[in-house]
Structure 1
Amino acid sequence: MVSLVIVSHSEKIAKGIKELALQMAPDVKIEIAGGTGDGRIGTDCLNIMNAINNAYSDDGVLILFDLGSALMNSEMALDFMENIDKSKVKIAKCAIVEGAIAGAVEASIGKTIDEILEALESYRINK
């Protein structure tokens, strides 16, 4: 089953999004990387790497993010990772709350990572 990683500048927001998504799809593995390592607002490449490692599955990992620098740090985290098949980790450029809920539901019914990304097109940012 495809897993999700929620990357947010706020740990509280990341936890809340995870909580909402798990209400709809309780069997989906969802990891969060919210805030910085010392509890401030921001994103942390190491936290994102750890979340990806914890969520990793041969079915794939879908990363959702809240703001531009979260995207940049997610891309950087992927660049630094050597112990995973990076082709199985994809970043969804969509609204984070709606995308996480829809993505979790799609994953829970066995959709592939590419099918999930296609389903999330309607939530895409920068159309």
Structure 2
Amino acid sequence: MIGIVLVSHLEEIASGIKKLLQEFNKTVAITFAKTNGAIGTTFEAVQAAIDENPAEEILVFYDLGSSKINAQLVIDLGSTKQICILDTALLESAFLATNLIGFDQDFKTIIAALRAEELKSKTNL
């Protein structure tokens, strides 16, 4: 199973994106880092979101730099899950991933599609 973890500096953003994505695919496992009303992210919140997600293959989408750093720390400290952090637009990429998961695409195929979007965003000025 492939899951999605959303990491945002504002819990309401992640919660809203989750709600939108589940309108298109109710079966995908989506969790997000909870901030308890504060602005920012923490390693503990990101780790909890990854651990709470029942999937063993996780796509992480984030909003700002420290969100990525905290997700990378989860990988560096030895998560047992396969985790891919995507440097792509948070909403659009999570939406694409949600749909690809719905079409039963495998983890590597989804990552390749998302990385193509990453490249496109860097080269289409």
TM tier, smaller: 0.7 to 0.9
- Is the partner of 1:40 in helix, strand or coil? coil
* Runs (5+) with no aligned partner, structure 2: none
**Structure 1 residue aligned with 2:66:** 69
Q: Which runs of 5+ in 1 are unaligned?
A: none
Normalising by structure 1, report the TM-score: 0.86
Distance 1:121 1:79, change over 3 A: closer
Is 107-116 or 63-72 further displaced after alignment? 107-116
Partner deviation per Cα, 1:70-112 (whole Å, 9 max, x = no partner): 1011101222245x14xx1111111000011111111122111
For normalisation by structure 2, the TM-score amounts to 0.87
Q: Aligned-pair distance for 1:51? A: 0.8
Structure 1 Cα separation of the partners of residues 98 and 74 of structure 2: 22
Find 1:40's aligned residue among 38, 41, 44. Answer: 38
Residues 25-104 of structure 1 aligned to structure 2 (within 5 Å): 25-35=25-35, 38-58=36-56, 60-82=57-79, 84-85=80-81, 88-104=82-98
Q: How far apart are residue 123 of structure 1 and its match?
A: 3.5
**Residue in 1 that maps onto 2:15:** 15
Give the aligned residue type for 1:79: D
Structure 1 residue 120: deviation in Å?
Answer: 1.6
Contact kept in structure 2, 1:3 and 1:56, CA below 8 Å: yes
Letter in 2 for 1:19: K
Q: Of 96, 113, 124, which residue of structure 2 is paired with 1:119?
A: 113
RMSD, aligned CA: 1.7
